[in-house]
Chains A and B, each alone.
Chain A
Amino acid sequence: MYNFDVVRPTSVDEALSALSQEDAQALGGGQTLIPTLKQRLAMPTTLVSLSGIDSMKGVSVDGGVITVGGATPHAVVAGEVADAFPALAHLAGNIGDPAVRNRGTIGGSLANNDPSACYPSAALATGATIVTNAREIAADDYFQGMFTTALDEGEIITSVKLPVPEKAAYIKFEQPASRFSLVGIFLAKYADGVRVAVTGASNNGVFRWAEAEAALSADFSVAAVEGLSAPSGDDMISDLHGSGDYRAHLVKALTKKAVAQAS
């Protein structure tokens, strides 16, 4: 890595002030940024660590909504929501390995919006609200393509609010090397309908599979998915680990498994 300074503010305001400096970069758990720095692929002058801001940490459950502080590590989420939202706990508890889960944060994951990350699918499937220092952003508006979000320069995710579904499941089909999602399906059933978010598959990042949502909202059954065509593989990621067509096939196959698991 190149040399840089590190500051560790204790409040959001201090962090914003530090981030206003030229070439300053926010640091969540560092699970993507630190490897990037080690490979000398980025050259920030200052890293602004968000890990010292207590107001951005922790999990609370209130009135059917789970609020997760932006700097909360995955391991904490996995433990705290095990009863209230088991599918989310399962997702958080299977990201990376224990070292990753004890450092990586929900805010960092959502801000990075890796097309194969797990958390974006949970946020999108639950219709979560991304709360920043400046505003609240609906998940449907937040994700804007691979590694692209609605966040402005220097904007910090302070918390994420996720409505707890009646039924849910997260099925992650792992890429064998990285163990990121080759395809991941987050299925969430609410009183007013079903949402199906897909990660890992698309060149455009996390997306909702509208046909499946419509079918499952009408009939929450494996058979309802069985009747659908898999989405087109044309715009899906095609790499060493699977073609676009394979990923498209997995979207349908895993959605069926998700329904079976959630039922």
Chain B
Amino acid sequence: MPKDQGIGASTKRREDVRFLTGTGNYTDDINLHGQLYVHFLRSDVAHGKINSVDTSAASAMDGVVRIFTGADFEGIGGLPCGWQVTDRHGEPMKEPAHPVLAQGKVRHVGDPIAAVVAESVQAARDAAEAIEVDIEELPAAVDMKEAVKDGAPLVHDDIGTNLCYDWGFVEENKAATDEAFANAAHVTTLELKNNRLVANPMEPRVAVGDYNRANDESTLYTTSQNPHVIRLLMGAFVLGIPEHKLRVVAPDVGGGFGTKIFHYAEEAFCTFAARQLARPVKWTSTRSEAFMSDAHGRDHVTKIELALDADNNFTALRTETYANMGAYLSTFAPSVPTWLHGTLMAGNYKTPLIYVNVKAVFTNTVPVDAYRGAGRPEATFQIERVIDKAARELNVDPIALRRQNFITEFPYATPVAVEYDTGDYNATMNTLEEIADLSGFAARRAESEKRGMLRGLGVNCYIEACGIAPSNLVGQLGARAGLYESATVRVNATGGITVMTGSHSHGQGHETAFPQVISEMIGIPEEMVEIKHGDTANTPMGMGTYGSRSLAVGGSAMVRAAEKVINKAKKIAAHLLEAAEADIELKDGTFSVAGTDKSVAWGDVTLAAYVPHNYPLEDIEPGLEETAFYDPSNFTYPSGAYCCEVEVDPDTGKVTIESFAAADDFGNIVNPMIVSGQVHGGIAQGIGQALLENCAYDENGQLLSASYMDYAMPRASDVPFYQVDHSNGTPCTHNPLGVKGCGEAGAIGTPPAVINAIVDALRSGGHDHVYHIDMPASPSRVWAAMQK
């Protein structure tokens, strides 16, 4: 019988009550006394020299308090980059300045030129229209391969190139990899694009800056996945406010998907302006602004080659990727195409030699940074597409080819510098074959063909690395941050527990899942545990939520803190029971003396901690609150196998997803329902990328897909009911919960399954020349592929 409490129970999400009844508290719900509003005047050209910004007429308009321009930020720090990549030649990446408001040049459509602070949004917008801006439009760098050629327009004149870095990984493997290609029995080559995406969380970004003159303290309320990181980046690098004078609050946040990790100009502006004006300053992004100011995702152009021997064993893999950085380096942008991408290029396979080359390029487009999966979807798409093409070229079963090359022994050290601790790729593939009913596919295809439709089957694997760590390693790789997590477990006098975690929940369900862990450890009802997050005033430190790290890293910190609490509580219980501490057992919320019927309840022990009348004061302090920091010793490595079945209408090219199955290994699982929900959402996003979402620029750097009229998000009717399974968990060996992380898997594993299936469908219809279709596989692209 399924559990109804603790680890393994599908407890319903307690936070959904407020989310679904409109009683959440989002940043836009925060309105402070005397609040002003800011409207950003943004560039409508991709690249231009700012000759002048005349705010005199606008400043005199009703309701305008002050208009800021780039000149107001001279001498103030720009937005920092949190990761420094070192290139193939040992040189640091090019790191251009990123001013809060544009100085000298505008570099992408949406680049903020001026900020109007006024008594109302309307007044600010009116005044923004009265600002006279003289911009001399310059040719734009848009296409990455063109942008790195001599004579291309320079996004940043002072660095003299649009090439941010040219990265090789593992550089020492290059010669041996090239040699393996020279000796290969077969080489499969594939050129592909990983399409640029706009994250589009349901809640647009919002920032409210506040300043208290009485104590010189600033507060920023913001839509962030990691408020402590924002406090550090903005406080230390942009505005020069020490942490003890700066509080950052990220209350309920309506989805992040990566794009709310980063420190944005609007946050710094609102905090800065609130100090300047001694009044709260609020900005709420419109959806149109979000399209041109939220960091975008993906946007890689790749050539991948796979070498095989005569027995179809993979012998080497080689890639060349152009990765778009956009106009400025967003907070973690340089890490995405390198350490979050190159290290995953082994996939699930024992390919002995791998060489990855990545050229990161500045263009006159919105900055690109992590988006659900961040580097790992790009790696997976390449690997799984090239394997699929190899199988077709060699006329072998794509599943058999994968199985033949699976890593089967763990731990496994890859040639791209990571060590997989556990996994069982055959087990997830076996489950997939069952839940996707692969043996019934031929009959389903025949039925589709009877209706004049082409049916295709696509299968692929994925591996991802979650909970990026440890801090000393990522420091060597260029991270300018630690990647630990902290938690404070505060036991109250009557036994209830408040957990302050540095993880941040913006849809993941931490408020439900984290108490399940504490409930399991102590044996008290989940309802006795409350999770607090998202406020730098509560939690000692927090690196936040991204990279599927919350349970594996933040949950582990909480476990460590809870262990300290339990150890202390046992000391108190031993005193109360007049027994030796070593004999105290904790079960079902009761401390007992082993081998006796003597016991004391959890609540009596916690009360004693705060009312220490009968208490070992000479040995331990009163109170019951502990903090722990947890720094993992390795990544976690979730993996799985995915299957997609599509129908393609040969008359129109329209693709319909007929079924989708996912068999994942997430290690141990705390709340199976929440895990399924994460997988469902990830698959929907993966289908969105594969079929619908296309962030496109024209040659002048104008954003063509700047609204929902042209940017297609997946809707309920675009996706089928999913078959998901996560029963093949091989527990992580190096964190206390044995968990691996599940947040990004769907977005990583899904796109290749969809494209593999479409290619399979077209080839079944006699289009034997089709080996690949770029995402999104829109009807027009699929139709065009059939015409060749």
Contact = CB atoms under 8 A, between A and B. Distances in A.
Interface stretch (B250-258, B411-419, B705-713, B761-769): B705-713
A150 to B, nearest CB: 27
Contact of A173 (B654, B711, B713): B654
24 contacts: A40-B125, A173-B652, A173-B779, A176-B692, A176-B779, A177-B692, A177-B705, A177-B709, A177-B711, A177-B712, A178-B708, A178-B709, A240-B694, A240-B696, A240-B704, A240-B705, A241-B778, A243-B784, A246-B780, A246-B784, A249-B783, A250-B652, A253-B651, A253-B652
A177 to B, nearest CB: 4
Interface of B: 125, 129, 288, 651-654, 691-692, 694, 696, 704-705, 708-713, 778-780, 783-784
Interface string A219-263: 000000000000000000000111100100110011011000000
A176 B712 contact: yes
B657 to A, nearest CB: 13
Q: Which secondary structure characterizes the binding site on chain B?
A: loop
Contacts of A241: 710, 778, 780
B785 to A, nearest CB: 12
A154 B288 CA distance: 32
A32 B784 CA distance: 32
Nearest to B125: A40
A178 B710 contact: yes
A167 B575 CA distance: 90
Residue among B288, B711, B780 with max Cβ neighbours from chain A (10 Å): B780
A240 B651 CA distance: 20
B193 to A, nearest CB: 15
A246 B783 contact: yes
Nearest to A177: B712
Contacts of B710: 177-178, 240-241
Given A40-B125, A253-B651, A242 B712 contact: no
Contacts of A176: 691-692, 712, 778-779
Contacts of B652: 173, 250, 253-254
B451 to A, nearest CB: 12
Contacts of A39: 288
The residue among B288, B708, B778 with the most chain A CB atoms within 10 A of its own CB is B778
B708 A257 contact: no
Given A241-B778, A243-B784, 9 more contacts: A173-B654, A177-B692, A177-B705, A177-B712, A178-B710, A240-B696, A240-B704, A240-B705, A253-B652
A177 B710 CA distance: 5
B706 to A, nearest CB: 11
B744 to A, nearest CB: 24
A176 B711 CA distance: 8
Residue among B696, B708, B709, B713 having the largest count of chain A Cβ atoms under 10 Å: B709
Contacts of A173: 652, 654, 779
Most chain A Cβ neighbours within 10 Å, of B653, B712, B784: B712
Interface of A: 39-40, 173, 176-178, 182, 240-243, 246, 249-250, 253-254, 256-257
Contact of B651 (A177, A178, A182, A257): A257
Sorted from nearest, which 3 A-B pairs have the closest CB atoms? A177-B712, A242-B780, A176-B712
A182 B709 CA distance: 12
A110 B129 CA distance: 33
A182 B651 CA distance: 15
Contacts of A253: 651-652
B779 A242 contact: yes
Given A243-B780, A246-B783, A256 B651 contact: yes
A257 B653 CA distance: 14
Nearest to B784: A246
A240 B710 CA distance: 8
A249 B782 CA distance: 13
B651 to A, nearest CB: 4
Contacts of B691: 176
B366 to A, nearest CB: 17
B39 to A, nearest CB: 12
Contacts of B779: 173, 176, 182, 242, 246
Contacts of A249: 783
A46 to B, nearest CB: 19
Contacts of B654: 173
Contacts of A178: 708-710
A135 to B, nearest CB: 34
A146 to B, nearest CB: 16
A182 B778 CA distance: 12
Nearest to A173: B652
Contacts of B288: 39
A250 B575 CA distance: 82
B769 to A, nearest CB: 19
A26 B570 CA distance: 77
Contacts of A256: 651
Contacts of B780: 241-243, 246
Contacts of A257: 651
Nearest to B653: A246
Contacts of B125: 40
Nearest to A249: B783
A240 B709 CA distance: 11
A212 B442 CA distance: 38
A149 to B, nearest CB: 22
Contacts of B696: 240
Contacts of A40: 125, 129
B708 A177 contact: yes
B741 to A, nearest CB: 31
Contacts of A254: 652
A116 to B, nearest CB: 10
A39 B784 CA distance: 35
A208 B692 CA distance: 30
B711 to A, nearest CB: 6
A186 B125 CA distance: 43
B766 to A, nearest CB: 18
Nearest to A1: B122
A1 to B, nearest CB: 9
A246 B696 CA distance: 19
B390 to A, nearest CB: 31
A143 B554 CA distance: 63
Contacts of B784: 243, 246
A201 to B, nearest CB: 13
A103 B239 CA distance: 48
B565 to A, nearest CB: 51
A89 B651 CA distance: 25
B375 to A, nearest CB: 26
A38 B779 CA distance: 32
A249 B708 CA distance: 26
A223 B784 CA distance: 24
Nearest to A178: B709
A209 to B, nearest CB: 17
Contacts of B651: 253, 256-257
Contacts of A243: 780, 784
